[in-house]
Chain A
Amino acid sequence: MFKKTLMAMAMGGTLAAGAQAGEIEVMHWWTSGGEARAISVLKEMVEDEGHTWIDFAVAGGGGENAYTVLRSRAVSGNPPAAAQIKGLEIQEWGDLGFLANLDDVADANNWDAQLPTVVADFMKHDGEYVATPVNVHRVNWMWANPAVFESAGVEIPTTMDELWEAADALKAAGVTPIAHGGQAWQDATTFESIVLAVGGADFFEDVFVEHDQDALQSDTMIESLEQFKRVSNYIDQGAPGRDWNVATGMVIRGEAAMQFMGDWAKGEFTAAGLEPGSDYICAPFPGTEDAFTFNIDSLAMFKQPNASSTEAQMAMAGLVLSDEFQQTFNLNKGSIPVRTDMDMSAFDSCAVEAMDTFKSTAANGGLVPSMAHGMSTTSSVQGAIYDTVTEFFNSRSMTAEQAATQMARAIRAAQ
């Protein structure tokens, strides 16, 4: 009797899987409400294919905890099948020889045609696909409360000059113009948008991708730093150490007029039941409407010891770029799909605008990797930039020239 059941179960399993059913362990830190819902879609899809999904979620926003666990697992020769790794970290793991080749899946699904070249390059190590992109966040957004702007009698700014005028008017009206959280990465997020506004996309790449020493100490850089420092006049006293979502809350409640943050902030507005366009405004950071600072989440695939796990891994890699997953995941996460050929009708106006800019900048230039979110450089150089940016922003005596020199030196030391 028992034997029969077992056989039936085994047969059922085989039939459902079609091919070989394997286990796939996925390490990620998509643990907050919307994110957890988003990733559970992938889990269901993988299980529908007959594979077993082992969830290996390590909480901790920026993923530091997860990276620590991943490192120890990799050192002991037992890495998970897939891990949420992004940007140049993918290259670092590729250099260490841990990542699996996904070219077969990529060819079968025509990734080269579906993904913008800039995105695809991030997923490749030595010309081979080793990771699959999950979503695209635009970082250079400004989130504004239109009611606050209206009561102060100012328009939503579209250039840096207008930004300071608006900020002065808002301050005079008694509201905090800029909701800011004084944490290194938030300082850096604001700073990189200002560099983009002041210097443009080419300068941004010179500085944050090429780390050109002349550009780093140029007048444009000093000008960017000075503009960045002006932000500190328009933030409130409670800013140091504040989390980004608390700052978003200030905009939602009308205590502050605007926040400079990537499009994950949209989740907070949505959760508060607000509608884009009327209750809150998503606008490009002033002076950067023709540019797109991207932050791409991705799943890197680690080499597996047995064939069935590899099979499951390849199946999942294919599923990540499917229409269904891209749509559901990104609707939950607030980001946009990585594939430019998707139907955007289910998405809100902010996401549609982001997608339009994503496509146009991918074709015409202006699509740049985010420094603050680890896309443009290694974590070590990124950390060196963070240190200088946050020190300068909080210092009372450091000049913009000193900051530029110190940043150039710190980057050289970290390379």
Chain B
Amino acid sequence: MSDTKKSFLIINRKAPYGCSAARDALDVALTISVFEQPLSLLFMDDAVLQLLPAQNPAGIGQKNLSANLAMLEMYDIDQLHVCSEALQQRGLRAEDIELNINLLDRSGIATLIKQHDQVLSF
């Protein structure tokens, strides 16, 4: 494992289940945490739909994404940033989300991107 550190930002933009992006991003996040690199996750656009509670994908043969997101803290992945505009556009409130999140406006998102070394998009 390398000695150098790079900070990673994962940008999520897709809703869960309909395509593999949410799952792919989560697997990358867990791997980055194994390498003990600084990591932040950003949920913007339709990716805020990944954060809805009460997901039950048993009927579509998929694994529960929200259960996995809830476990991220156990892997010391606690930098979950959420685009407040994306929540608003979908009629969601921060209180609807049962995860420990940090709300960001546009300038907050721009700053977040600026602060990280490598940005991976899903």
A and B part of one assembly: no
- Which residue numbers of B lie inside 8 Å of A, CB to CB? none
- Which residue numbers of A lie inside 8 Å of B, CB to CB? none
